[in-house]
A and B are shown apart, each in its own frame.
Chain A
Amino acid sequence: MDLLETPDDRAFREQAREWLMASVPKRQRPSEPHAEKEFDLEWQRIQYEGGWAGVNWPKEYGGRGLTGVQMMVWLQECSRARAPFYLNRCFIGLYHGGPTLIVRGDDAQKSYHLPKILRGEATWCQGFSEPGAGSDLAALRTRGEVDGDYLVINGQKTWTSGAQVADYQELLIRTDPDKGRHGGLTWVICDMKTPGVVVQPIKTMTGEAEVNNTFYDDVRIPLSNVVGGIGNGWSVAMSTLGFERGTAFIGSQMSLSDKLEDVVALAGRTRLANGRLAIKDDEIRHKLARLKAETSALKAMTLESVSKADKHDAPGAEGSIMRLLVTTLNKQLYRLVAEILGPQLLDYGADENSNEWAYRYMWSMVHTISGGTSQIQREIIADRILGLPRAR
Chain B
Amino acid sequence: MDLTLGEEQQSVIAGAATFLADCLPISRLHDRSVLCRGLDPQILKSVAEMGWLSVTLGEEVGGSSLSLVEEVLIFRELGRVVGPMCLLAGAVAARAASAHGQSALATAIASGEAPVAFVARGDYDHDPESLVCRRLYEVDGARWALAVDGDRVRIFNLGGRNLERADCLDKTTTAAITDMSLFEVILDVRDPSIRRAGGMLISAMLAGLGETARDLIVEYAKIRTTFGKPIGAYQAVRHPCADMEVRAAQAKCQLYYGALAVEGALPDQDFQVAAAKVVSCNSAFENAWDSIQLHGGIGITDDYHTHLVLKRAHLIAPWFGDVHEHLDEIVPSDIVTREAA
Residues of A within 8 A of B (CB): 1-5, 9, 69, 264, 268, 277, 279-280, 282, 285-286, 288-290, 292-294, 296-301, 303-304, 307-308, 310-311, 313, 318, 321, 324-325, 375, 377-379, 381-382, 385-391
Please report B residues at the A interface, Cβ cutoff 8 Å: 1-6, 9, 69, 218, 221-222, 229-230, 232-235, 237-239, 241-243, 245-246, 249-251, 253-254, 256-257, 260-261, 264, 266, 271-272, 274-275, 278-279, 282, 324, 326-328, 330-331, 333, 335-336, 339
**Overall SS of chain B's interface:** helix
B246 contacts A2, C-beta separation under 8 Å:
no
Give chain B residues whose Cβ lies under 8 Å from the Cβ of A292. 275, 330-331
Min CB–CB distance A87 → chain B (angstroms): 22
Which residue on chain A has the smallest CB distance to residue B281?
A293
17 additional A-B pairs beyond A304-B3, A381-B245, A388-B230, beta carbons within 8 Å, are A1-B2, A69-B2, A279-B331, A285-B327, A289-B326, A289-B328, A290-B327, A293-B330, A297-B250, A297-B253, A301-B249, A307-B3, A308-B4, A388-B233, A388-B237, A388-B241, A391-B229
A101–B122 alpha-carbon span in the complex (Å): 65
- Give the CA-CA distance A1 to B256 in the complex, in Å: 9
With known contacts A285-B333, A292-B331, A382–B253 Cβ distance under 8 A: no
A3 & B249 in contact (Cβ 8 Å cutoff): no
Contact partner of B254 among A5, A297, A391, CB < 8 A?
A297
Contacts A279-B335, A391-B235: A3 and B242 contacting too (C-beta < 8 A)?
Answer: no
- Total cross-chain contacts (CB, 8 A): 165
**B1 and A307: CB pair below 8 A?**
yes
Q: Are A381 and B246 in contact (CB under 8 A)?
A: yes
Question: Which A residues are in CB contact (< 8 Å) with B339?
Answer: 268
CB neighbours (8 Å) of A389 from chain B are 221-222, 229-230, 232-233
Q: How far is the CB of A8 from chain B (nearest CB, A)?
A: 11
Contacting B257 at CB < 8 Å: which of A290, A296, A391? A296
In the complex, A294→B249 CA distance in Å?
11
11 contacts between A and B (CB under 8 A): A1-B4, A3-B257, A9-B1, A289-B331, A293-B274, A297-B275, A301-B249, A321-B249, A324-B242, A382-B238, A386-B238
Residue in contact with B333 in the complex, picked from A3, A282, A313, CB distance below 8 Å? A282
- Chain A nearest Cβ from B286, distance in angstroms: 12
B15 CB to nearest A CB, Å: 17
B273 to chain A, nearest CB (A): 10
9 shortest interchain CB distances as A-B pairs: A378-B242, A300-B257, A300-B253, A388-B232, A293-B278, A297-B250, A297-B254, A289-B330, A381-B242
